[in-house]
Each structure stands twice: as C-alpha cells, then as structure tokens.
Amino acid sequence: MHEGLSERRRSFHRYPEPAWREFYTTSLLVEAIEEVEVDELAVGREAMAPDERMAVPSDEELAPWFERARKRGAREDVLDACEGGYTGCVAVLDRGEGPSIGLRVDIDGLFVEEAPDESHRPAREGFRSEHEGLMHACGHDAHMTVGLAVLEAVAESDFSGTFTVFFQPAEEEGGGGRPMAEGPYAKGIEYLLCVHVGLDHPTGEVVAGMEKPLAMSHMNVAFEGESSHAGQAPEKGANAIQAMASAVSEAYAIPRHSEGMTRVNVGRVEAGTASNVIAEDARITAEVRGETTRLMESMKGRFERICTSAAEMHGCGADVAIHSESPRADSDPELATLVQEVARGVEGVNRPVGTAEFGASEDATFLMQAVQEAGGLATYAIVGTDHPDSHHTPHFDVDERSLGIAVDVLTESIERIRKERP
C-alpha cells in the first residue's frame, strides 16, 4: 500500500535546494500533484503573499540555483511562476460540503555536506545528495513525500469538504511561514495539521501536539561609522567597532521579565579591516526569543533601542533588519486529542503521546496562528523516526517505515475530523 513512498522520498533526497531556491523541488512537486485530480494548484508567487517573504537571498544567491534547476529539467512554467525566489506550491481538493482542513509540510534543504561513507544509507544505496554542500538533513524530503501521499489518499477517498496541502518553502531560517499564512490559501482553514518527523522521537512514537515553541526574531544589524587612521587621527573616526561592542554587552543585559522566559544572543560579528584603521563598519547577527510572542516583541524593542543608542553614542548609525521571525502558537488540545486517539489505532504506532514541549522555534506557527485567530484549530504533530544522527548533521537519515505511519495517522485524522468536527 505504501510501496512508492521510499522511492519518492529518495528522489527528493537527491536534489536538496536551499530556502527560496527550491525551483527543481517545486517542479517535482507540481508533476506529482498533477497526477492527482486536484481542484486547484497554485505555484510560486500565487501560492503566497509575496511581499511577506523573509530571509530572502540576494539575486546573486538565487541565480545559480535557478539555472541548475533549468538544466536538471525543471518545467518552464514552474520556473516562470517561481522566478525571483517565490518557490513552493499549494494544492486544493474541493469536495463540496464539509470542513476545511489544511496540511502543512516544508520543502527546503540545508547547507550541510552529506556524509559519503558506506555507513550512511543514502550513500550506500545510491541516493546521496547530488548537490554538493546541500542536504535534506532535517527530513523535509520525508515531509513532502507524506504530503503528496496524504493528498492522494484523500483524493481517492469519499472525503467531503475542502482539503488544502501547503508545500511551504524556506522553513529553516524562518522565511516561508509568514507569506503562506498571509497568502490566499490560509483563509477559511478550520483545522490545520502540521507534521514533522523525528526530533529524537523513535519510530513507533507519535506526539499529537507540540507545545511551547519559543517565539523568535532573527535580526541583522549593521553599524555604520567613519574610518580614520588610528594613529594619526583617532578622533576623526566614528568607531563602528566601539558601537558594536557596546550594543553586544548591553543586549545581554536586557532585564529578565517577570512574565516568562526570554532569550537574547549575538551569535556572529564581523567588523573592521585592519589594526590601524578606526572601523567604519560592523555587522552582527542576533536573535531574541520569548515564551510568548509578546515577550519576544518586548525583547526585540529593547534590542533595537540598544543598537540605536549604542550607535548614537559613538556617532554611528545602526540599521536593524529583521531577517526572519516566528510567533508562538500551541497545539489545540481538542485537535491533539483527536490525533492521539487516531494514532492509537494505527499500525506501527506503539507510543501515542499527547503533548511534548518543543524548546525551539518553528515558522509553522504563522499558519497555526492564522488559523487559530480565525477561530480554527491547529496541531503540530511529530511522527517518530529512528535517526542515526542528529538533525542538521551529515549522517542524519530517516527510518522509512515512519513514512507510512505518518500517512496513516494524517489520513485517518482527516477522516475523523470530517466526522467529528471537534
């Protein structure tokens, strides 16, 4: 029944593409979706609110991937729809009366060099990444496979209602969630299912609803000063390195918040040129998090004020750019309970769990939040998979038995939602 799943997952695995550059991936998805009788298929720009993209690469970063996809055989109509870095697609089954149910999967790869050794199954069995330096090291190849299979299963069933599958680009740096959530297809979704494999949960375990992802904002700051000779005219410069150092020290000193957990980090600094030059330029990469979106926003406001004031203090300017962001959204217990009950009856599931804490950030929360704010219900489920090494590492791999489990849990949950409308 689930025979083609491995094969399809492996074909995705061979061609990982980074965020907003999933041109060939989208083409593969479109070809697969067209084999199902869907009522609507929006590709690229049309699938999203195009102005809401975040963490968008430069034209120089986009171009080679666009060309590579073309050479690899991507369809020209898909390339046209995605040109400029508007990747991904949304498929809709419109089957009359019934609930509007959504499923969200993500599609991008990572800048990880895949392991070439025999101990790594993709290398051993010949489906290792053909894009050197890129890898599906977080299971998005599995997610796409599952998304397509659920679409097929629902299409072939007697489902009535509306079923929408979001093939979301650019999850890794948090860039694709918002344009999907603000786009035309999020509206009216009453029940949203999100799915992720693994995350240290073994094959056979299913977590029906993740809780407490941290709201996050990832920022790039550029401090701009003026250079001068450090020996001959130190007072003539406006020292961007001093401004940066002051901002960094003070950022960590943003006060703790009585309403809950917060975080702040400056994780990368690059500044100046040589020891005898007052630096005119310093760039930092930073992030703030909060137990709630409100706490994250409070941290962000403080962080921006610190950067601006630190720059002023040294006669510099500071440009704070939001690279990407994700709100907090929790799984709704009613929907999670339904998924947990379904999982209990699925073959291969030996540990159906209700909820678990997330401890990290995910931009699926944009879609979840949009659905919840409109009165709908959402859950973010984990389908366990034995993985030989951690996510985001060269030896990461999924246990393909979990593909069928995921398809069953999701397909049956959709059926159950239609019947019970929790």
Residues binding a copy of itself (CB under 8 A): 214, 216, 218-219, 230-237, 239, 241-242, 244-246, 248-250, 252-259, 261-279, 282, 285-287, 289, 298, 305-306, 308-310, 312-313, 315, 323, 359-361
| Shortest Å distance, C-beta 294 to a copy of itself | 11
> Of the candidates 209, 210, 193, 195, which has an alpha carbon nearest to the alpha carbon of residue 102?
193
Rank residues 150 and 299 by Cβ distance to a copy of itself and give the closer one: 299
Rank residues 149 and 278 by Cβ distance to a copy of itself and give the closer one: 278
| Shortest Å distance, C-beta 64 to a copy of itself | 22
Which position has the token pair 């992030």? Answer: 287
| Shortest Å distance, C-beta 327 to a copy of itself | 15
CA end-to-end distance (rounded Å), the chain: 29
| Shortest Å distance, C-beta 117 to a copy of itself | 25
Query: Which residues, including other chains, have CB under 8 Å from residue 104's CB and lie 6 or more apart?
Result: 165, 166, 168, 180, 192, 193, 194, 195, 364, 367
387 annotated ligand-binding residue = no
**C-alpha pair distances (Å), 252 with each of 286, 292, 312:** 11, 19, 19
Contact in structure between 263 and 252 (CB atoms under 8 Å):
no
> Of the candidates 126, 168, 162, 102, which has an alpha carbon nearest to the alpha carbon of residue 6?
126
Q: For residue 267, give both structure tokens.
A: 């994780």
392 annotated ligand-binding residue = yes
| Shortest Å distance, C-beta 365 to a copy of itself | 14
Rank residues 55 and 101 by Cβ distance to a copy of itself and give the closer one: 55
DSSP 36: S
Rank residues 64 and 359 by Cβ distance to a copy of itself and give the closer one: 359
| Shortest Å distance, C-beta 72 to a copy of itself | 29
| Shortest Å distance, C-beta 265 to a copy of itself | 4
140 annotated ligand-binding residue = yes
Buried b / exposed e along 210-222 (16+ C-beta atoms within 10 A): bbbbbbbbbbebb
Q: For residue 300, give both structure tokens.
A: 């962000």
| C-beta neighbour count of 178 within 10 angstroms | 26
Rank residues 73 and 255 by Cβ distance to a copy of itself and give the closer one: 255
Contact in structure between 99 and 161 (CB atoms under 8 Å):
yes
Contact in structure between 141 and 79 (CB atoms under 8 Å):
no
| Shortest Å distance, C-beta 342 to a copy of itself | 30
| Shortest Å distance, C-beta 226 to a copy of itself | 12
- Please give the Cα distance from 39 to 102 (Å, whole number): 15
Q: For residue 204, give both structure tokens.
A: 């056979």
Q: Amino acid identity, residue 83?
A: E
Cα-based angle 13, 42, 130 (whole degrees, multiple of 5): 15
82 annotated ligand-binding residue = no
- Please give the Cα distance from 314 to 306 (Å, whole number): 13
- Phi and psi, residue 115, nearest 5°: -60, 135
Does the CA dihedral 116-122-127-133 come out positive or negative? negative
130 annotated ligand-binding residue = no
Rank residues 106 and 173 by Cβ distance to a copy of itself and give the closer one: 173
- Collapsing DSSP states into helix, strand and coil, what is residue 199? coil
Query: Annotated binding site, which residues?
Result: 138, 140, 172, 196, 392
Query: Annotated binding site for Mn(2+), which residues?
Result: 138, 140, 172, 196, 392
